[in-house]
């Protein structure tokens, strides 16, 4: 298919989104101005587990400006089960009824004329309760005698999955078995913009809802059902969204309560989540305790893997309780492992619910594998890079189905690692490390390697809606079912359409995130958008182009194969003057006298693109750290990433995703963690205690790519949004442990804070 200007794809194109974001023209949900707006404030439990005896709202109701105060006894709402695969007894009462199960459970809601009045009223609501024992550790939650959150369930176990349990010990006959217990600690999403909702009722049966969501279109049917509204009467939309990372997908009970009260009061209402609330109510991530045993021969070839995972689901199990399934799917990683036994269970605990946070079950599989193989290399005296090369699945093996059930499409794992080693100057790093060890310097150098494969567009997320229509003035309107919140979708999708149709990107409008404009869509999560919605607009543009070429050949009396795109339309190859503009083509397509017989009016096409399966990006990361052996202080001084996301359409967008992902991976490795005390109180409930790194704490990352196309979509593209996070965390953890391994330290759990490192050094020297 000829294009006069050549392809725009593969070039670094500046983001179209940025000017309006930088000038403030784009609005966030909290910027939406509505007349007569009421403000919602949620009163939350300050204890983790208790029976509710009574809730006294009398004082709050008497405060001027208060429009109403409701508890579960006052507002009729059905318990909400956010993950339908689980039994209904795990459903969450939007307003706690009879019992609270975590600090942050909603016991009452206040609506007032102003936020300050609502907050004042909330401080005058009192709960009388009977305290119950709480449990915040998922391993303890599964033990006999542990406090049970849902009596109907009989225990705290909410999910179980396994492979290879009937096949015996996978490490039988191994010359060496490396064993490890490690924790992938719980993390908060902490987006710059917190959660919230603006609910605007137009009548008792119609409503508009604005939410800062990753998937507002797929939230609509859930909200409509909960509110008892016809879907067609409910508009759900997302304005500009200030970060998501997974926790901003799905339906929150706060949405249900706010929307229900807006309908009841027939008044627009807004809830804006406070930062302290965000640390209690926005879904969190990770929270897995993992055990692994890897069998190898004396040459370092893997014989088998035996893994066990205990996942934390939080107080009201949702998709987070299911994520161990993705860990199981990806447990083979990049390695040729002959036998695998894997068993995982998820447990309800008196904590914030766990949702899908950047990587969602896949980082944990990589963390376990990469710690095991690094420790095995240390125990066997084999170079960490060499042991990986020895065990990679060869590129000739693709496509293949792994023992975890993943249908790998394509890969060249050695290529990525070799490039990372070269760019890092690996041999020079080893020499510098040896020099420091010999001279017994206080600051020791650590070199950490991680190789990974991940799944994008997982489990049913490989299907997405897209539509392209050429307007009467020659501009294009495209619709997609994904929902951007920083990824650069408008730029990427515009590039695809412009490349095929030859229409300037400035003349292309991308509509998303609004049920009034897009009929269906699954949203943006699982690094799925380019390979699904991007492929949908690609196929739609191709279809529109073929129709336009057929129409042009009819009108220009030329062979359709001789019609090419040109400046502003189509023309006969070699004869630019013999042309039709896009506007003329649209006009002709709607004229019965000008269309060929049998051609439908208009130049538009819509479809649900089906990639048939997931794609599997991969890569290799090398982290270089300095660790002060006297204080435990650690500094990440270099991070080299080679990520393969298939065909790259815009390298600038890919690099941006790499940098953001690596920063979040480094944050887990070195800084972040949600922790609770023995009574279930969060001790990292604000940004004074929960440590998020800024750019000042991180180096400028060195990012590179290889390109191994996938056959599962016409773009050859795989996802990139989560790769940096998955690859970086174990590389940095391995680097820190490597820096102090000569002191006898074998493992340190994340976050690798100075006190944790110092304690590990002290323990190793005293044993």
pLDDT tens track for 129-171: 999 999 999 999 999 999 999 999 999 999 999 999 999 999 9
| Euclidean distance between CA atoms 262 and 31, whole angstroms | 18
Q: Where are the beta strands (DSSP E) in 392-460?
A: 400-401, 407-408, 443-453
| Euclidean distance between CA atoms 508 and 268, whole angstroms | 34
pLDDT value at residue 2: 34
Q: Where are the beta strands (DSSP E) in 10-70?
A: 38-44, 50-56, 66-70
Please report where in the chains the tokens 């990049």 appear, as a residue. Answer: 334
pLDDT value at residue 3: 36
pLDDT over 70 percentage in the chain: 99
First to last CA, the chain: 70
Residues 65 and 124: beta-carbon distance below 8 Å: no
| Euclidean distance between CA atoms 494 and 508, whole angstroms | 6
pLDDT tens track for 595-639: 999 999 999 999 999 999 999 999 999 999 999 999 999 999 999
Dihedral sign, Cα of residue 334, residue 451, residue 311, residue 339: positive
Q: In which band, very low, low, confident or very high, does the pLDDT at 647 lie, cut at 50, 70 and 90?
A: very high
Average pLDDT over the chain, rounded to whole? 97
For the record, the structure tokens of 228 come out as 């008892």
Region of residue 500 (left: phi > 0; alpha: psi -120 to 50; beta: else): alpha
- Scored b (16 or more CB within 10 A) or e, 349-376 reads bbbbbbbbbbbbbbbbbbbbbbbbbbbb
CA angle, 729 as apex, 725 and 730 as ends, to 5°? 130
Q: Residue range 254-268: average pLDDT? A: 98
pLDDT value at residue 549: 97
Q: In which band, very low, low, confident or very high, does the pLDDT at 767 lie, cut at 50, 70 and 90?
A: confident
pLDDT tens track for 318-347: 999 999 999 999 999 999 999 999 999 999
Q: Is the pLDDT of residue 181 over 70?
A: yes
State the number of CA atoms in the 13 A half-sphere of 663 facing the CB.
18
Q: Find how far residue 751's CA is from the centre of its chain.
A: 20
Q: Is the pLDDT of residue 585 over 50?
A: yes
Cβ within 8 Å of residue 225, ≥6 positions away: none
| Euclidean distance between CA atoms 504 and 522, whole angstroms | 28
- Scored b (16 or more CB within 10 A) or e, 212-233 reads bbbbbbbbbebbbebbebeeee
Characterize the bridge pairing of strands 234-237 and 269-272.
Answer: unpaired
Q: In which band, very low, low, confident or very high, does the pLDDT at 766 lie, cut at 50, 70 and 90?
A: confident
| Euclidean distance between CA atoms 676 and 696, whole angstroms | 28
Q: Is 591 helix (H, G, I), strand (E, B) or coil?
A: coil
DSSP tag of 700:
P
Residues 220 and 231: beta-carbon distance below 8 Å: yes
pLDDT tens track for 449-507: 999 999 999 989 999 999 999 999 999 999 999 999 999 999 999 999 999 999 999 99
Q: Is the pLDDT of residue 653 over 90?
A: yes
pLDDT value at residue 4: 36
- Scored b (16 or more CB within 10 A) or e, 6-38 reads eebbeeebebbbeeeeeeeeeebbbebeeeeeb
Q: In which band, very low, low, confident or very high, does the pLDDT at 368 lie, cut at 50, 70 and 90?
A: very high
pLDDT value at residue 424: 98
pLDDT tens track for 266-323: 999 999 999 999 999 999 999 999 999 999 999 999 999 999 999 999 999 999 999 9
| Euclidean distance between CA atoms 629 and 611, whole angstroms | 51
Q: Residue range 680-699: average pLDDT? A: 95
| Euclidean distance between CA atoms 280 and 107, whole angstroms | 14
Query: Which neighbouring-strand residues pair with 307?
Result: 292, 342
| Euclidean distance between CA atoms 338 and 167, whole angstroms | 12
């Amino acid at each position: 298919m000829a294009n006069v200007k050549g392809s725009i794809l593969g070039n670094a194109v500046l983001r179209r989104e940025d000017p309006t974001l930088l000038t403030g023209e784009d609005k966030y949900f909290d910027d939406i101005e509505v007349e007569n707006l009421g403000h919602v404030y949620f009163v939350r439990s300050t204890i983790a587990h208790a029976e509710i005896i009574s809730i006294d709202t009398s004082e709050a109701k008497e405060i001027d400006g208060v429009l109403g105060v409701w508890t579960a006894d006052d507002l009729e709402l059905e318990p909400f089960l956010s993950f339908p695969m689980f039994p209904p007894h795990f459903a969450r009462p939007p307003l706690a009824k009879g019992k609270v199960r975590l600090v942050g459970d909603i016991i009452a809601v206040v609506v007032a004329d102003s936020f300050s009045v609502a907050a004042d009223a909330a401080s005058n609501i009192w709960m009388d309760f009977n305290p119950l024992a709480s449990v915040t550790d998922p391993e303890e939650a599964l033990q006999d005698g542990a406090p049970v959150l849902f009596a109907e369930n009989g225990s705290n176990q909410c999910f179980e999955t396994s492979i290879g349990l009937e096949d015996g010990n996978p490490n039988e006959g191994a010359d060496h078995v490396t064993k490890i217990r490690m924790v992938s600690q719980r993390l908060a999403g902490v987006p710059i913009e917190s959660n919230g909702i603006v609910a605007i009722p137009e009548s008792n049966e119609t409503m508009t809802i604005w939410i800062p969501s990753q998937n507002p279109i797929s939230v609509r049917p859930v909200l409509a059902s909960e509110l008892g509204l016809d879907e067609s009467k409910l508009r759900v939309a997302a304005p500009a969204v200030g970060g998501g990372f997974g926790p901003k997908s799905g339906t929150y009970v706060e949405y249900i309560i706010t929307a229900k009260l807006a309908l009841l009061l027939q008044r627009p209402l807004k809830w804006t989540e406070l930062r302290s609330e965000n640390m209690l109510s926005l879904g969190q991530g990770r929270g897995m305790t993992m055990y692994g045993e890897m069998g190898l021969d004396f040459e370092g070839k893997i014989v088998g893997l035996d893994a066990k995972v205990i996942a934390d689901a939080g107080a009201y199990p949702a998709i987070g309780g299911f994520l161990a399934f993705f860990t199981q799917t990806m447990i083979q990683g990049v390695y040729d492992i002959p036998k695998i036994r894997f068993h995982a269970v998820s447990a309800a605990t008196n904590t914030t619910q766990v949702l899908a946070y950047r990587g969602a079950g896949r980082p944990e599989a990589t963390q376990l594998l990469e710690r095991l193989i690094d420790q095995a290399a240390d125990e066997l005296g084999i170079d960490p890079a060499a042991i990986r090369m020895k065990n990679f699945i060869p590129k000739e093996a693709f496509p293949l189905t792994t023992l975890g059930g993943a249908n790998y499409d394509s890969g060249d794992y050695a290529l990525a690692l070799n490039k990372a080693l070269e760019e890092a100057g690996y041999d020079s790093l080893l020499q510098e490390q040896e020099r420091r060890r010999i001279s017994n310097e206080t600051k020791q150098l650590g070199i950490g390697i991680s190789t990974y494969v991940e799944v994008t567009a997982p489990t049913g997320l490989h299907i997405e809606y897209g539509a392209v229509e050429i307007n009467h003035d020659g501009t294009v309107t495209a619709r997609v079912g994904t929902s951007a919140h920083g990824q650069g979708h408008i730029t990427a999708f515009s590039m695809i359409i412009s490349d095929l149709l030859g229409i300037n990107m400035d003349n292309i409008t991308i509509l998303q995130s609004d049920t009034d404009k897009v009929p269906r869509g699954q949203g943006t999560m699982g690094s799925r958008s380019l390979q699904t919605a991007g492929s949908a607009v690609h196929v739609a543009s191709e279809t529109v182009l073929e129709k336009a070429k057929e129409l042009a050949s009819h009108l220009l009396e030329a062979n359709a194969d001789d019609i090419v795109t040109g400046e502003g339309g189509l023309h006969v190859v070699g004869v630019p003057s013999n042309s039709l503009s896009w506007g003329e083509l649209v006009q002709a397509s709607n004229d019965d006298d000008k269309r060929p017989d049998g051609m439908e009016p208009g130049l538009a096409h819509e479809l649900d693109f089906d990639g048939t399966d997931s794609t599997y990006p991969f890569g290799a990361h090398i982290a270089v750290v300095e660790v002060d052996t006297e204080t435990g202080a650690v500094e990440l001084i270099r991070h080299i990433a080679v990520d393969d996301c298939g065909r790259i359409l815009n390298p600038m967008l890919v690099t941006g995703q790499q940098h953001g992902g690596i920063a979040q991976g480094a944050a887990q490795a070195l800084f972040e963690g949600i922790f609770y005390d023995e009574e279930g109180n969060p001790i990292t409930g604000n940004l004074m205690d929960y440590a998020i790194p800024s750019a000042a704490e991180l180096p400028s990352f060195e990012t590179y790519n290889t390109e191994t196309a996938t056959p599962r979509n016409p773009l050859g593209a795989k996802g990139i949004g989560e790769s940096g996070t998955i690859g970086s965390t174990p590389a940095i953890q391995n680097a820190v442990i490597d820096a102090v391994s000569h002191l006898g330290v074998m493992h340190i759990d994340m976050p690798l804070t100075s006190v944790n490192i110092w304690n590990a050094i002290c323990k190793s020297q005293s044993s």
